[in-house]
Structure 1
């Protein structure tokens, strides 16, 4: 294991990054190359860098990255780096085959080798630790509203809080971005995504001021319900998108 000087790495990476991306693009990203390991000088925790983001390496998996170059930093400095990789980053959990690409601050499954041929473009596929890496994406995604469109298709969707809502008219398309602003994602990546958001999302239809909390009435319930709430909305959605959810007069919950 080689421990590199953070200053020497930072200088080389900063010059390259500024020349290619601009200063703002580097904000909150780890200023070291992908594949490096960040070592906390406070508690010996380790993090893999992929797409400029930090991924915690559980102690049982440290040996899997024993050959990586290491940069020692304070835990506070490491914590300041984002957990969301840059758009275009390809990654998979180490020792697994499913590859994901980051688009719009969210990860999207690449469902086939044919589709991977389009997205890899000679890029490195980062092998990240098997940990709870999805949590950071979920925390962001409650307020991360994306207009998306699968590659080679014409149907656009609003994606928010883990759900997809089809855009069925030009008014909605314009309201949620329009003008060709839909982010292109892998063909087939929406196949397993439904119109049911993550439990705990607060949503409102775009022409309504009523915000609904989405959740369940009991731990045994399988039907998601909506209840009016005074809490702020995580996002707005197309008109009619919340109609399929039955109204509940109590307070829906997610954890019992």
Structure 2
């Protein structure tokens, strides 16, 4: 079984994002970048499937400028067999990414595509569902458990009401939630081995996808700072303030 794992380069989750002075976008100057945490979970799940003997090849793919190869090498160090970089300097939307991945799925024909449910920069939670629609594959989103048996995948999903288990026919698309697994750290020997693993580069234009923007970014602002709270001396005083000042009760 071949498993394809799309990954995304994002601002490290420990870094506080800054807005450019002209509010045109997020300032990425000298900012530490890393693999999207949900993508790390997807890579880990694919590696575990390979270690269990269920998968025989894991391919990591990333879309973006040349800097994305840093995260692809990380995926290779974690255990992926091969990496593919779809190179473009254009800022892509979810639909663009899904269409590019659909072309790659058509070429590689993986039985399973595992990707993070969302990226921590845009938080759109769209690409996996769009990819499933474009490729006509069954999908299991927000996966907290994945079990493969023959040509079926049992996916336990985290939904508002609790857990839901769905049975998917392979080939399928699965998006990962936080509780699916705990990603491993790359060891130094594996980091060195990753430098010798294949990393193929292809131009996004070569896949025949229209990358014209459909969404216009007007302005980026930091969230409003929360006002300081106050300490009340009694329940009566709290109720009075909720009535007269906050006006949340009558």
Identify the TM-score tier after normalising by the shorter chain. Answer: under 0.3
Q: TM-score, normalised by structure 2?
A: 0.24
Higher normalized contact order (CA 8 Å, seq sep 6+, divided by chain length): 2
Q: TM-score, normalised by structure 1?
A: 0.23
> Between Structure 1 and Structure 2, whose CA radius of gyration is higher?
2
